[in-house]
Chains A and B, each alone.
Chain A
């Protein structure tokens, strides 16, 4: 059936249509990325220059008698000695004048200096591709990037360990043990997903303030060791698909409950565990709300998200720096996603579909 369609000209047209429409959406979708990368590689002159191209570029310059000369696109019929030509040519400007300027021809230097009757300000300029990494260097030193990287990485690692450890135990309890009120408690667990953040943040903030934890990482890290609804749900769904007969076989061989979890269930659940790991690293990396309210007074402890928004407030007038900073903040989640995208997809599908 499929093979027959391959030779059908209408089918080829449909393939082109579907792929074309998707490609169109994709280009729209990714254009802000292109903007970001392109802007971060531009130098300051280009960002403010009129008529500059979208790619990182610089006006071509030529060396002449020890000086750097800017290039312009000049209509040749305005120049002495070539009045008959209708072409435009890239010439380097030697002396700028209001109504006429002196140029040389970089390709034909023997011709020497000559005058063209043009207003140089109105001339088009030939742009050459030229990317600079200066914006990254500058951002790196301005925001103390290594320290931010360290803070953010530590947050990601410690909280991911907390989440994995606590959610595995809780999910094991919910998926295998029959204790009174289990189903009701599970519904309560799911219901916590619907709670708006503020109703719990107000008292917990007040409490952490009172015991002196505000300004430290503790209010953000400690709760990760007490399990969270999404990850417990995801793991429990996964554990439920592992047959209980396997537990029983291990138990006959003398394995304890924890041994069963460690040697039977966990090895089989690595896709779900990896999904949680990558989700949580990305979450920690991007988390803004928690660090903002608890760490705003302690500059040295800031993660990259909080530092970036402050940085952007200060350097708001410099688009190249801002885009370089934003790009530096998203490199790690991006790489993680590219290498682990299989587990992202799996995790989302387990949560969303296999209910």
Chain B
């Protein structure tokens, strides 16, 4: 009754004024740069010859199509995605399930410790792992592989080793994903789990057919966040990208043309093509989400 009698007017001008920092920032640091990138991609802009910029049409795009590194980069990105993302999602669901179990002792402490690696500088992490995996002085050979009777792991710079390194490091960053899964699991009402139990569902059946479907929104969110992280975008708890050594081979390649060769025109072309690939992947994911993500509001 009272709210009917008095309605606070939230006027338009103040609203626009309030969001103006973002609007200006968006224009200056996002929109104009994106368009400028597009513009650069049609030129032979080189950092060392800033006064000599020529419009070269689609030459950069033709060059990209003929670039032998591109199919390799796409393949490398895809192969990373194919095994890293399921690994991260699976591990964060498993850990969340363990942490959600009322049978676990010292739950808060355990949660804290699992989250810990997610806040460490990635530079420190990279060198910590390199040391851990070092064939001579690291612990992996001495305390894990050798006692199991396996051959020591030799070159830390072999392709397989780098892939394993990226895999373990990405597992180490699942803290935020794990918390989101955990919060989603804690949000499932007890009635639903009780009802499943009444119907004779065991713990495993109830986990796969009740818990998992109920937390699909959290899974979807984590999937998107993990993908963006691999694509070199902004992530939830950004620990700073190690950039050219990062898990996105595409980023490394763009960085090479930008900061090693100063070939801005070609770097911008690569960045734009990469942007399109990312947008297509994200749109595809969103369009399939209606089929498998549970939205309680729609019922």
Contact = CB atoms under 8 A, between A and B. Distances in A.
Interface of A: 2, 11, 14-15, 18-19, 21-22, 25-26, 29-33, 35-36, 39, 47-48, 54, 166, 169-170, 172-174, 176-180, 182, 185, 188-189, 192-207, 209-210, 223, 225-230, 232, 244-245, 247-248, 251-252, 257, 279, 282-283, 285-289, 292-293, 304-305, 308-309, 312, 319, 322-323, 325-327, 329-330, 333-334, 336-338, 341, 344-345, 348-349, 351-353, 355
A345 B240 contact: no
Given A22-B104, A198-B255, 16 more contacts: A18-B101, A173-B15, A173-B17, A179-B15, A195-B275, A199-B34, A199-B37, A223-B25, A226-B25, A227-B21, A330-B121, A336-B119, A337-B112, A352-B184, A352-B221, A353-B180
B6 A248 contact: yes
Nearest to A229: B234
Interface in B271-299: 271-272, 274-275, 278-279, 282
B124 A330 contact: yes
Given A22-B104, A344-B115, A197 B232 contact: yes
Contacts of A48: 137
Contacts of A207: 33
Instruction: Categorize the interface residue count of chain B.
Output: 35 or more
Contacts of A29: 113-114, 117, 172
B286 to A, nearest CB: 10
Nearest to A310: B123
Binding site of B, secondary structure by majority: helix, strand, loop or mixed? helix
Given A198-B258, A232-B22, A182 B15 contact: yes
Nearest to B98: A22
A329 B37 CA distance: 35
Contacts of A25: 95, 98, 114
Nearest to B139: A35
Residue picked from B30, B110, B139, most chain A C-beta under 10 Å: B30
Nearest to A185: B19
Contact of B127 (A47, A200, A279, A312): A312
A330 B23 CA distance: 35
Given A19-B104, A200-B34, A248-B6, A351 B236 contact: yes
B233 A308 contact: no
B243 A202 contact: no
B30 A192 contact: yes
B150 interface: no
A211 B137 CA distance: 48
A247 B14 CA distance: 15
A193 B228 contact: yes
B123 A333 contact: no
Contacts of B187: 353
A26 B113 contact: yes
Given A15-B103, A200-B34, A202-B271, A333 B21 contact: no
Contact of B237 (A2, A189, A227, A282): A282
Contact of B8 (A18, A19, A248): A248
Contacts of A323: 127-128, 131
B145 interface: no
Which A-B residue pairs are the 5 nearest by beta carbons?
A: A226-B25, A177-B15, A173-B18, A352-B180, A203-B36
A35 B238 contact: no
Contacts of A200: 29-30, 33-34, 37
B151 interface: no
Contact of B14 (A205, A252, A257, A327): A257
B180 A348 contact: yes
8 contacts: A195-B234, A200-B29, A202-B33, A229-B234, A286-B120, A319-B131, A344-B119, A355-B217
